[in-house]
Amino acid sequence: MTEEDDNAINAVAEIVQDQQEATLYPDDDCEEFVDWYIELAKKHGCETGLFCGDWHHNRNSVNITTMDASIRCLEKLGKAFDKFYFFPGNHDLYYKDSRDIQSVEFGRFIPGITMVNKITKIDDTILVPWLVGNEWKKVGNMECKYMFGHFELPNFFMNAMVEMPDTGELRPSDFKKQEYVFSGHFHKRQVKNNIHYLGNPFPHNYADVDDDERGMMILEHGTEPVYFNWDNCPKYRNVKLSTLLDKTKEIMKKKMHLRVTLDIDISFEEASYIKETFMKEYDCREITLIPSKQEEEINTELDITKFESVDQIVSKEIETIESDAYDKSVLLRIFRDLNNDTD
């Protein structure tokens, strides 16, 4: 991409999720985000769009309604831009170490969409899908002004709470021959030196609590990237009831997911009335009332020094489940079997 290409616009994250994942509204949120993305891009005169991976969430299957929304969103993007580059992330691939089977292959049949399934250089820009095999060894020798990829680098935050441990072959220090590196994969927007994690379009769950800096980036050739937040994104908050009652208008927004600690001595009827009123009055999506004693037992501050890999993080989260409806040993076995199947 050269100076003649006007602007490049980039949104990075799990844009379309399965309806069984995360929330009850993911497909609607995704399509609303794509509409906002296109409108803002056109307002700024962008002619080129780019998506840096993880269009879908579930690596093993895609809900039919999600696939319908997925095709519809890609058709919108294909029509909106002169060029729209699209490459798979790890969540779009069935196997961890192969791009042969993926859930976004249909994109190459949609007019206006350019699927990037291998490392591709376009003028002074290099596009890098999820790296497989020994491809990571090539990165250090790729000289360019701009590199867009789907990288898993240590010491960056995966979300608002968890930092990627110091593991893996590819290191931030490998990116010395690129002026700017823009990556998908991690949900939190962050910048260190020449590496920019663009973040996902909107928060997905309580791991993204209080982190609303999500949206898109616009890059005009030769200038600094500019980030834009999607103000109408879903929001997640942990709050005490006393604070909520005192600062209601300040805290409450549409599409709000709330965990409310009952730090005030109230009856069950009063608590139920407050929940029903807030759900109706402020169009909340979810309000969970947590007794103060229970809140003290819930440790939401993750000790990142204990984590050595993403798999260990997931395993530890499964082990913390306390429910008669789920057998933790069965869930752990299913998770490990899925990992073995995709290795």
Cα–Cα distances in angstroms (integers) from residue 336 to residues 22, 54, 86, 115, 187, in the given order: 21, 21, 30, 31, 24
155's tokens:
């010491």
Output the pTM of the full model: 0.78
DSSP 109: G
Contacts of 85 (CB under 8 A, 6+ apart): 48, 49, 50, 51, 114, 116, 127, 148
Calpha distance 157→171 (Å, rounded): 14
CA distance 46 to 80: 10
Q: Which residues pair with 183 in a beta bridge?
A: 149, 197
* pLDDT of the chain, 343 residues: tens digit per residue: 544 444 444 444 445 444 334 345 678 899 999 999 999 999 999 999 999 999 998 888 888 989 999 999 999 999 999 999 999 999 999 998 999 999 999 999 999 999 999 999 999 999 999 999 999 999 888 999 999 999 999 999 988 788 888 888 899 999 999 999 999 999 999 999 999 999 989 998 888 899 999 999 999 998 999 999 999 999 999 999 999 999 998 999 889 999 999 998 888 888 888 888 888 888 889 999 988 765 544 444 433 333 344 565 566 666 665 555 556 666 767 766 666 554 4
User: Which residue shows structure tokens 């307002």?
Assistant: 43
